[in-house]
Chain A
Amino acid sequence: MTEHTDQLVRHHLDTTNQFAQKLRHDPAAIGGARDAHHALQTSVGRSRDVASEQRVNLASATSGSTTDRATATSQSLEKEVQDLLDESAEIEKAVAEAAETLHVGEIKNDQVRDQIIKEIAASMKALEAVKTIQPPESRGAASRDILMKLQTKISQLTGQAATFSEQTINDLTAIGTRLGGEEQATSSSSASSTKVGSSFNSNSGYSGGSDGGGGGGGGGGAVHKPRLPVAIPPQPGSGVAINLPGGKQVMAPNETAAKAVRNALAQLGVPYVWGGTARGVGLDCSGLTMTSYQDAGLQLPRTAAQQTVGAEVPSIDQLLPGDLVVWSGHVAMVIGDGQMIEAGDPVQISKIRTTNAGQSFIGFYRPTG
């Protein structure tokens, strides 16, 4: 009984737990970063005040063109420091906003998890009560009703969790994008004005070297690599042949499977989005397999563990392109040549395996039977 409950709880909380992992963060660290940032800001502000004071002293004490130039440079530097301070305030605000978004996301996920636990607890009570029904033959139907209802409820709740997760991630992305856009503007304006020592810019990827570059510089200067679909070889429009990116051609057992594999390959490089079923935009593992088969004309259930349909393939050496490798919380599609495609981040090709961190392997399945 306890073992059974344990499995049920583990399985059904898998989703919210995964989400929790994604949102996992350290509020103390974020707070620390914010405080440090604030301290930096204060000290930069103090330098600006000192510089401005010095300039006034300089201007009043001396005269001549050298002094004018020096005063102008100093003024311009002051302005840049001010820009930096403005930008810095922007970053500080964004950090606070991001922390808040994460926090809200966590709370929502927590609520969904509580609800799932409540549903499981209620169902387990009912199942225990059903055990008292006489004769025993009439218990089966009652238990089935309870479990089916539980399944429906949890799918709904899990869907909610996914929506919240997507929303949180979208919000975070929006905050990041806004910050990135403004940074870009600031950095290009500063590039065209005062020349500051080149070492200042030396670690910023694209903008180093040319003063007009600007774009993508800023914040730590990480090189930004755009995420694009991955190029794959041209595919036959029909038939069972599949051209793998490695150059090999493999044969699927039927046209539906072949189409599904070709559809899946077309998603290589698509980012992982939890609960995602948007092809070319964002997919999760079961979203990849489901939509790939769907576009080939076969409807699969939505979640990984439910995609155990069609026929079971008894061993790894009998796998054919289009077969699914199913874990308790993950699924991948065999593409042939010992490889499979799965929605990690991003969608990628890997060697066929039966292990997946912390999850139990359910089996190999051929949806087309």
Chain B
Amino acid sequence: MALADFDVELASARIAEQASRAGAEVSARLERSGPVVGKAASGGIEVQVAPGGLLTGLSIHRSELRQGSAVLADRIFELAQRATRRAGDRMYHALSSAVPAEQLETLGYQPIPDDDPDAETYSYGEGQR
């Protein structure tokens, strides 16, 4: 009988309500902290990405141009990956109270352990793996 009484409208209203509450919580938190970005730098190269890895900033000091283009490309690539992980770490901490862990994993937002070379606390700006 419980099945016959199932109310789709109520279920979806409840879901919508939960979702908007989660959204409100997250946006309130991000309003205080500012938009989440991931940054990584090494030598004269600085990379900034949005959560998920979209490149939002890149600066290369002239001195870095002396190395070969392949080395430069590799370093930018590595820094972009590190920045992406850092953005994911920050998003994880910003969202973990409002969004289920499994969803964070789907989004690739995972915490970085303190002893990980990519952690911001770990030789920030100087990481050479």
Q: B12: which of A5, A122, A135 is its contact (CB, 8 Å)? A: A5
- B6–A20 CB distance below 8 A: yes
- Nearest CB of A to B3, in Å: 4
Determine how close the nearest CB of chain B comes to the CB of A31; give it in whole angstroms.
Answer: 12
Q: Would A1 and B54 count as touching, CB distance under 8 A? A: no
In the assembled complex, the Cα of A10 lies from the Cα of B61 at a distance in Å of: 55
List chain B residues, Cβ under 8 A from A135: 50, 54, 56
A6 contact set on B, CB distance < 8 A: 8-9, 12-13, 16
Q: How far is the CA of A20 from the CA of B4 in the complex (A)?
A: 7
> B43: CB under 8 A from chain A?
no
Query: Are the CB atoms of B100 and A122 closer together than 8 Å?
Result: yes
CB distance from B129 to the nearest CB of A (A): 26
Of A110, A132, A141, which contacts B30 at CB under 8 A?
A132
Interface flags for B96-107 (1: CB within 8 Å of A; 0: not) read: 001110111011
Taking a contact as CB atoms under 8 Å apart, the answer to whether A125 and B13 are in contact is no
Is B35 engaged at the interface, CB distance under 8 Å to the other chain?
Answer: yes
Task: Tell me whether A129 and B54 are in contact (CB under 8 A).
Answer: no
Evaluate contact between B99 and A129: CB separation under 8 angstroms. Answer: yes
Interface of B (DSSP majority class): helix
A20 to B5, CA, bound (A): 10
Chain B residues within 8 Å of chain A by Cβ, number: 41
Does A113 have its Cβ within 8 Å of any Cβ on chain B? yes
Query: Which residue on B lies nearest to A28, using beta carbons?
Result: B1
Tell me the total A-B contact number using a CB cutoff of 8 A.
Answer: 122
Contact A2 B52 (CB under 8 A): no
Judge if A133 is at the interface, Cβ distance under 8 Å.
Answer: yes
A129 and B23 contact, CB distance less than 8 A: yes
Asked whether, in the complex, the Cβ of B20 is within 8 Å of the Cβ of A1, the reply is: yes
Inter-subunit contact B12/A2 (CB<8 Å): yes
Contacts of B52 in A (CB 8 A): 133, 138, 141-142
Task: Report how far A9 CA is from B8 CA in the complex, Å.
Answer: 7
User: Do B11 and A9 touch across chains, with their CB atoms under 8 A apart?
Assistant: yes
Contact present for B6 and A113 (CB under 8 Å): yes
A13 interface contact, C-beta 8 A? yes
Is B50 in contact with A133, judged by CB distance below 8 angstroms? yes
Please tell me if B70 contacts chain A, counting CB pairs below 8 Å: no
Which secondary structure dominates where chain A touches chain B?
A: helix
Residues on the A chain within 8 Å of B27, using CB: 131-132
A142 and B107 contacting across the interface, CB-CB below 8 Å: yes
**Interface residue from A13, A129, A137 paired with B22 (Cβ < 8 Å):** A129
Of the residues B4, B20, B103, contact of A122 by C-beta under 8 Å: B103
A contact residues around B36 at 8 Å (CB):
133-134
Q: Is B45 an interface residue (CB 8 A)?
A: no
Contacts of B56 in A (CB 8 A): 135
Contact with A along B62-102 (1 / 0, CB 8 A): 00000000000000000000000000000100010011101
Contacts of A123 in B (CB 8 A): 103
Residues of B within 8 A of A145 (CB): 106-108
Q: Hey, which chain B residues are within 8 Å of A130, CB to CB?
A: 107
In chain B, what residue has the closest Cβ to A128?
Answer: B23
Asked whether A23 lies within 8 Å of B54 as measured between CB atoms, the reply is: no
Q: Counting CB contacts under 8 A, is A223 at the interface?
A: no
List chain A residues, Cβ under 8 A from B58: none
CB distance from B49 to the nearest CB of A (A): 8
- The answer to whether the Cβ of A81 comes within 8 Å of any Cβ in the partner chain is no
Chain A residues whose CB sits within 8 angstroms of the CB of B22 once the complex forms: 125, 128-129
A137 to B1, CA, bound (A): 47
Q: Give the residue name and chain of the A residue nearest to B24 (CB).
A: A128
What's the least CB distance linking A20 to chain B, in Å?
Answer: 4
Taking A121-B15, A123-B103 as known contacts, 11 extra A-B pairs with beta carbons closer than 8 A to each other, sorted by chain A number, are A9-B11, A23-B3, A121-B14, A124-B15, A125-B99, A129-B22, A129-B98, A132-B23, A133-B52, A138-B53, A146-B103
Q: Which positions in B face A, CB cutoff 8 Å? A: 1-4, 6, 8-9, 11-16, 18-20, 22-23, 26-27, 30, 35-37, 50-54, 56, 91, 95, 98-100, 102-104, 106-108
For the complex of A and B, list the 4 residue pairs with the smallest distance between their C-beta atoms, beginning with the closest: A128-B23, A124-B19, A134-B35, A126-B103
